[in-house]
Amino acid sequence: MSGALLGLLLGAGCLLVLAGCPVRRSPSLAARVVPHLEPARRPRSQELLRAVGTAVGARLGSGRAVAERLAVLDPTGEATGEATGEATEDLAGYRARQVLWSCAGTAAALAVVTVAGANPVAVAAAMVVGAIAGALVRDELLARRVRRRRGEVVADLPAVVELLALSVAAGENVGAALERVAAGSGPLCAGLRGALGRVRTGTPLLDALSDLAGRWQVAPFSRFVDGIAVAVEAGSPLAEVLRAQAADARDAEHRRLVETGGRQEVRMMVPVVFGVLPVTVLFAVYPGLVQMQLGN
């Protein structure tokens, strides 16, 4: 009886081993499909380096992002900067200057660690950090120029729209009114002159203005172009639309100035609280402390 039981257990075990053999076992559907859907897992070191590289690349800006920023600074394609008072550059020139800034940052970091007498590992790390810092500083300078240019466009928009509304109300068409308004100075008028130049070469007016709005990416100017397009296509009174847009632009500029004044007011409190107030308290309290010490 015991022999039969042992033989049964041995047979069952052999069957289980044979059933679980990889040669006979076919992979399941999930095992066949999942490796093709999920990316191959990388070591943690490679994942960390990839994340750092992605973050640095996004901060430095891709070629397309840098080209869009440079287009804001020179939307008309005038490389001389005649209308804006400053020189413009293309993508290759910007990358060359960014490399020079990286070299300058590397040299500065190398000089600092050399004076400090650090070890070779610290020197190599400082050189890498200096190169990245130089490139980031150059990118930040470009971003500030872009923000300043967009602020100038927003500040000039109310006056330009009002002059355009007066010209249209006087009987001129949109093209002639834009020609008259674009004769002024400033980045907004320079951009309008560039758009009108494209119109003379055969580009429709609305397409040229829409392309200019897409390059600048300034919300008030985009609304201004959309309003002109709607008024022209729907046959609405363009002068009334422009007057309404001028009022909206002035209200937006007023809100922006109020917000800027509020932020500057908070910044002005920092030297008052941490500089002027402690000195005032010191001058008020110190004589009394000296008198008390002399009295003792």
pLDDT in tens, 99-113: 888 888 888 888 887
Three-class SS state of 86 = coil
Q: What is the tens place of the pLDDT at every residue in 25-46?
A: 566 666 667 666 655 555 565 5
Of 105-114, 191-200, 202-211, 284-293, which gets the smallest average pLDDT? 284-293
Exposure string for 81-90, b = 16+ CB within 10 A, e = fewer: eebbeeebbe
Whether 250 has a pLDDT exceeding 70, the answer reads yes
Q: How confident is the model at residue 178 (pLDDT cuts 50, 70, 90)?
A: confident
Per-residue pLDDT, 18: 65
Distance CA 79, CA 49 (A): 39
Per-residue pLDDT, 251: 82
Element (H, E) at 161: helix 120-169
For the chain, where do the domains classified as CATH 1.20.81 start and end? 153-251
CB 75 within 8 A of CB 215: yes
Distance CA 175, CA 238 (A): 12
Average pLDDT over the chain reads: 76
What global pTM score does this model have? 0.63
The residue with greater pLDDT, 22 or 265, is 265
Per-residue pLDDT, 160: 87
Of 141, 62, 64, 149, which Cα lies nearest the Cα of 97?
141
Whether 24 has a pLDDT exceeding 60, the answer reads no
Helix axis angle for 91-116 and 120-169, nearest 10°, is: 150
Per-residue pLDDT, 21: 61
Whether 150 has a pLDDT exceeding 60, the answer reads yes
CB 177 within 8 A of CB 168: yes
Cβ-based neighbour number of residue 131 at 10 Å:
19
Cβ-based neighbour number of residue 187 at 10 Å:
24
Rounded (5°) CA angle 232-233-234: 95
Q: What is the tens place of the pLDDT at every residue in 39-85?
A: 555 556 556 656 655 555 555 666 777 777 887 887 555 544 444 44
Q: How confident is the model at residue 86 (pLDDT cuts 50, 70, 90)?
A: very low
Distance CA 293, CA 289 (A): 6
Which of 3.40.50, 2.40.30, 2.60.40, 1.20.81 is the CATH number of 153-251? 1.20.81
Per-residue pLDDT, 89: 63
